Chains A and B, each alone.
Chain A
Amino acid sequence: MATALRRLGRRMAVPFFRVREFSASTSVLQNEQSGKSMNLYTAINHALHIALETDPRAYVFGEDVGFGGVFRCTTGLADRFGKSRVFNTPLCEQGIVGFGIGLAAMGNRAIAEIQFADYIFPAFDQIVNEAAKFRYRSGNQFNCGGLTVRAPYGAVGHGGHYHSQSPEAFFCHVPGIKVVIPRSPKQAKGLLLSCIRDPNPIVFFEPKWLYRLAVEEVPEDDYMLPLSEAEVIREGSDITLVGWGAQLSVMEQACVDADKDGISCELIDLKTLIPWDKETVEASVKKTGRLLISHEAPVTGGFGAEISASIVERCFLRLEAPVARVCGLDTPFPLVFEPFYMPTKNKILDAIKATVNY
């Protein structure tokens, strides 16, 4: 187990396809109704099946979704629901999102896939200037709340510049859209269904590293997990760690190791980055007096900066150390240097110790 954990911290050494239990969430799941063991892409696929089944005005579309998508998330959907509801689009992200806004504006649920988060930028204008302001600029006469944009994000071990990025912070700077990132299969299914049914446009980033890697029991029925509610996935008293998506598993390893050194860590999954659950983080930091944020995206201007500033505002007198950030480097995402770029378990562990011993 220890070697497996160390390997995980290193990421690079873990084959993409190795099946892994997500301990933080399996423990949560223990006392709930039994489900089916599935990986993250299958959980997404289940959510999409349910979304299409429960709403005849739901559509799924994007590049190559017809045959199941390059990550297999849309497998079987076109066969089951027909090509007029599940379809390939031309290779054009601005078209995909713009089309989705139009569909959503007519009261449909538009579930658009961007093949990689790295390719969301041609659609940036449609998301930032259009989807985000559709309601506000019309005095709420129009809205495109039925729009959900799904995109795989983050490191994967061999993605280089354009198959690895974590662009969440760009979208967190945009009033009018929500940004949601799940950490595990069960979370992915419940959060995605909430996003699809939420009356606001949402960008949903899926940790592609975990598509096959993360496996847990996922309820087979239709369920939703609340947006803008963070979750304490590990309780502790000495320091609060905040993260989201794939990075949580790395942070959890650091918590386990810190525990061996007698440091008790509280780990929070933010889940919804905007609008985020400040109360849960604030309550935790008021208890522990210390905060560490970790994300894969470059540290400068990352969403960790926003969390840090907000918590300093709210908890200044309770903080016993500066807020720590363990994040990606301020470089483009580099192929062969990926292990050096990443916010690894040991980088986090060092920062935990430095913060506690400040």
Chain B
Amino acid sequence: MWSARSKAIGDYVKRCVCSNGRFMAGLVDHRSNPFGSSLASGVAETSRHALPFPCNMAAPFLVRRFESTLAGKQLELLHAGDADDDQALDFPGGKVTYTPEMKFIWENYVKRVPCYRVLDENGDQIMGSNFKEMSKEVALKMYNDMVTLQFMDTIFYEAQRQGRISFYMTTIGEEAINIASAAALNDDDLVLPQYREPGVLLWRGFTLQDFANQCFGNKDDGGKGRQMPVHYGSKKHNYLTVSSPIATQLPQAAGIAYSLKMDKQDACVVAFIGDGGTSEGDFHAGLNFAAVMEAPVIFICRNNGWAISTHISEQFRSDGIVVKGQAYGIRSIRVDGSDALAVYTAIHTAREMAVSEQRPVLVETLAYRIGHHSTSDDSTKYRPLDEIEYWKMARNPVNRFRGWIEKKGWWSEKEESELRISIKKQVLQAIQVAERTEKPPIAELFSDVYDQPPDNLREQETELRETINKYPQDYPSGFPF
């Protein structure tokens, strides 16, 4: 009954489509068939034979699921046999085969999408793993930057606790994602961060002094002290300024990438997003635009298990983020975010696809947010300490990478201790200098609202200067007048 009805609809659509050639030409994508296989591998399958009723739509749906992926695979083969071009629905977007079976795509999965990794917890290469070779020089810079990030986090966090800066967010646990992704990119690829990706800037040469200046909001901060700490941005490093509102950067990334495409640039865009951020409408908009516009964007979703206190089970019910790519027509991969070598390889390959094939790619990295959400948060209120401890010790991305370079013979205990002493000194030095540096001049309060200050702002500046002269005690010192 159902299939007969479907066929009738199909014939009807066929007629409409045929009578309107333009409709068809505009909408049919001949290159791909997004309706191809509706069965993701590993998706639990409803047994066609288990339906206790022939096709009675009113009967309750008593369905049985195969528990093994094998059963699902077998069914897939069976369905492949069903495909019959004569019986296909020639629908805008490509042909859709018919099936006499009334079956739903199941919402859950028997087996989660596996996570690509190269190194085990000790930094040993896993037998048979494939990865992109990296030079000693790149590997050591990666390690150096990961350690730097750790020191920066520890010392800046402490500075916030002492009231020297107003806020801070650490990247602990996600050092490999930060640094290895940056290492796999070209420096002219444009980066649109969420906020937990300062390592990309570090890799590109933003100095510890630059970081400290931003956090202290002094006159040498490129953002002129206007934004909260960790809202870094640097034109020179092709790193767009962090904006607190979550996920807004994703549709923007598609626009930037489309411009690169139009200009035939040998570059792509990289947009970062957290697991929480994927719930925002802009996530959908960004991925969908990138797919439809065939824009060279790599979306890197840092799935770290938590969005402040919200566990991913309260955020989405899909198998994470990676599975969402296919729904948008975007190629996707899941990567172990604590494995720098795997992240490096995946991003390198994603970049090649994005640039040479002019298409978006989605990379989901799995690594835990080891730190509190920010200095305003105490995560022990909502998650178990041993969970944090486990990730910090057993799955630490920096230790793992160190294991690998040591086994390669590229790194020693002596070099390690020298590095630590030197970085610590540099970070402390940077915050001392930043703290002593004066604040941006008052005029910067009014500049950049528009390209030129309009009359209302000019008037307000004049008034403010009079007020400051009259009531200097109301205002903090250190701001050049």
Contact = CB atoms under 8 A, between A and B. Distances in A.
A300 interface: yes
Interface in A137-177: 158-163
B315 interface: yes
B386 interface: no
A152 B445 CA distance: 25
A340 B315 contact: no
A121 B282 CA distance: 12
A41 interface: no
Contacts of B329: none
Contact of A335 (B225, B377, B468, B479): B225
Nearest to A94: B281
B231 interface: yes
Interface string A196-224: 00000000000000000000000000000
Given A91-B315, A92-B281, A346 B474 contact: yes
B246 interface: yes
B471 A346 contact: yes
B245 A158 contact: no
A295 to B, nearest CB: 15
B166 A91 contact: no
B279 A90 contact: yes
Nearest to A337: B445
Q: Which of B166, B228, B440, B473 has the most CB of A within 10 A?
A: B228
A332 interface: yes
A92 B307 CA distance: 12
Contacts of B276: 90-91
Interface stretch (A29-37, A60-68, A102-110, A186-194): A60-68
Contacts of B244: 118, 160-163
Given A63-B310, A91-B307, A162-B244, A329 B475 contact: no
Contacts of B228: 158-163, 335
A90 B309 CA distance: 11
Contact of B217 (A90, A91, A335): A335
A92 B446 CA distance: 33
Interface residues of B, number: 49
A67 B309 contact: yes
Interface string B200-233: 0000000000000000010000000111100100
A344 interface: yes
A347 B474 CA distance: 10
B227 A335 contact: yes
Given A91-B280, A330-B456, A335 B226 contact: yes
A70 B464 contact: no
Contacts of A275: none
B314 interface: yes
Interface string A334-352: 1111011100111100100
B277 interface: yes
Interface string A110-148: 000000001101100000000000000000000000000
B439 interface: yes
A334 B225 contact: yes
B326 interface: no
Contacts of B225: 334-337
Interface in A20-64: 63-64
Given A63-B310, A159-B228, A331 B473 contact: no
Interface in B380-422: 381-382
Interface of B: 166-167, 217, 225-228, 231, 243-246, 276-277, 279-282, 307-310, 314-316, 376-377, 381-382, 439-440, 442, 444-446, 449, 456-457, 460, 464, 467-468, 470-471, 473-476, 479
14 contacts: A9-B474, A64-B309, A64-B310, A91-B276, A91-B280, A91-B310, A91-B315, A95-B281, A160-B231, A329-B446, A329-B464, A335-B166, A339-B474, A340-B442
Given A92-B281, A162-B245, A329-B445, 16 more contacts: A6-B473, A66-B382, A88-B310, A90-B316, A95-B279, A160-B228, A161-B226, A161-B227, A162-B244, A331-B445, A331-B446, A335-B166, A337-B442, A340-B468, A346-B474, A350-B470
